Amino acid sequence: MNLHTTEGNATADDRDKLTAGAASAAAVARTILDGMTAGARRQCVYSLAGYDSWLQDRSGFVKLWGIVRDLGAETRMRPAGLAVSILNRAISGDAVRVRKPAGVDDAAVYAFRSQTGWSAVVVSWSPTPRDIEIIFPSGSAAPRRLLRIVAPSPESTNEERELVRVTEETLAGSGGVVKVELPAYGLCVLAAGQEEKKSA
């Protein structure tokens, strides 16, 4: 699964903003997570590499759906690739149903419980920033790390230079309550804390 770009009548520029833009991270993540919720146990993001191709009418080129922009000494991920990389930090153990507050119809939280505690993914398809509060049940470890896709705008890409990246920080929370700020069409992951390295 991924965003498809070679058919239709949108301009190449409009397609590239969606396929290679920062908003694609949330779109791909939401598709994967909704697939899991619907019962899909094996999903394949197509594909690792794939730069561009002719439009159907041969009028020009359009970016393909490869999740990596550059492979080599320095690997540069497209936003969809960044989404896959941080989803791998959260999806573990059992998926748990989340009760969504009334009136929230442009964002979703997907939660997972494993032996190491809770993790979650927060996805927004709101055109404006959103503040989301998550209350984790007591009795098991709440997430300790916040990984967030950051970009100057939802249309920013990593095609010419790296404008879309992942930041990681310690999660601030009181007890089992965590508040996160999401940009427009944003994506973040709440993950277990990294183990401290032990010296010999």
Query: Which pTM was predicted?
Result: 0.90
pLDDT bin (cut points 50, 70, 90) of residue 60 is confident
User: For the chain, what is the largest distance between any 2 Cα atoms, rounded to a whole number of angstroms?
Assistant: 63
Question: How does DSSP classify residue 36?
Answer: H
In this prediction, residue 173 carries a pLDDT of 64
pLDDT higher than 90, residue 118: yes
pLDDT bin (cut points 50, 70, 90) of residue 111 is very high
pLDDT bin (cut points 50, 70, 90) of residue 56 is confident
- All domains of the chain, ordered by start, with CATH? 12-191 (2.60.40.1180)
Residue with tokens 């748990």: 96
Strand arrangement, sheet containing 177-182: 130-135, 177-182, 173-174
